C-alpha cells in the first residue's frame, strides 16, 4: 500500500490540491487563480491516471471526482449558510443594514407630503427629506398629507391624513 501511494503521489497530490482549490474558489469572488489552477491540477491528475492505469480508469476517476466535488461544494455552502461556519468571523454580515432598519423605525409617526401619486408606491417629502414610500394599498393623490405608520427595512408604509 505504501509503495502504491509513493508511486502515485504526484497524481494524488494533483487531484487533492485541485479539489481543494476548486472548493476554495466557491468562496472567492469571480473566477480567478484558485479555480483555474484547481482545474489544471485535476486535468494533470487525470492525465497521470490515464498514463499509469489506462483511459477507463481515468474516466472513472474523473466521474468520481465530479460527484465528490458536487457533494462537497453543496455541503460547504449549506454549512456556510446554516451551520457554525456561517456564524464565524470568516463571513461578512450586513450589520449596517440592520442598524439602518432600526433607524427607519424612528420615522414612524412623522408627517409629510406626497411629491408624486402613490399607487401604491411613490415619493414623499418628510421635513425636506425625499423618501420612497408605499401606501397600505390605497391610492393617494399628489400633494396630500401623509403619516408614516410602519417602517421595515427600506419599506416605509404611509397613510393619508384626512382632516
Residue pLDDT, tens place only, 41-81: 999 999 999 998 999 999 999 999 999 988 988 887 787 77
More confident residue, 87 or 143: 143
E-strand spans in 8-105? none
Task: Identify whether residues 78 and 101 lie together within a single domain.
Answer: no
- Count Cβ atoms within 10 A of the Cβ of residue 29 and give its class: 0-12 exposed, 13-18 middle, 19 or more buried: exposed
Task: Identify whether residues 19 and 48 lie together within a single domain.
Answer: yes
The whole domain housing 140 covers 95-160
What's the whole-model pTM score?
A: 0.49
Task: Identify whether residues 74 and 99 lie together within a single domain.
Answer: no
Look up cell 457533494; give the residue. 71
Task: Identify whether residues 46 and 104 lie together within a single domain.
Answer: no
Strand 129-135 to strand 111-114: parallel, antiparallel, or no bridges (unpaired)? Answer: unpaired
Residue 90 lies in a domain: no
Cβ neighbours of residue 142 closer than 8 Å, sequence gap 6 or more: 114, 115, 116, 117
Check pLDDT > 50 for residue 33: yes
What is the number of structural domains in the chain?
Answer: 2
CATH number of the domain to which 116 belongs: 2.40.50.140
Amino acid at each position: 500500500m505504501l509503495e502504491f501511494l509513493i508511486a502515485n503521489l504526484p497524481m494524488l497530490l494533483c487531484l487533492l490540491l485541485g479539489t481543494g482549490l476548486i472548493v476554495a474558489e466557491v468562496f472567492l469572488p469571480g473566477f480567478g487563480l484558485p479555480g483555474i489552477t484547481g482545474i489544471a491540477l485535476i486535468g494533470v491528475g487525470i492525465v497521470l491516471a490515464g498514463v499509469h492505469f489506462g483511459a477507463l480508469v481515468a474516466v472513472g476517476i474523473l466521474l468520481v471526482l465530479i460527484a465528490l466535488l458536487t457533494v462537497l461544494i453543496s455541503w460547504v455552502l449549506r454549512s456556510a449558510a446554516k451551520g457554525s461556519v456561517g456564524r464565524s468571523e470568516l463571513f461578512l454580515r450586513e450589520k449596517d443594514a440592520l442598524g439602518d432598519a432600526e433607524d427607519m423605525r424612528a420615522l414612524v409617526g412623522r408627517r409629510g407630503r406626497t411629491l408624486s401619486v402613490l399607487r401604491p408606491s411613490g415619493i414623499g417629502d418628510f421635513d425636506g427629506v425625499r423618501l420612497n414610500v408605499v401606501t397600505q394599498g390605497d391610492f393617494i393623490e399628489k400633494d396630500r398629507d401623509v403619516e408614516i405608520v410602519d417602517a421595515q427595512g427600506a419599506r416605509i408604509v404611509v397613510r393619508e391624513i384626512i382632516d
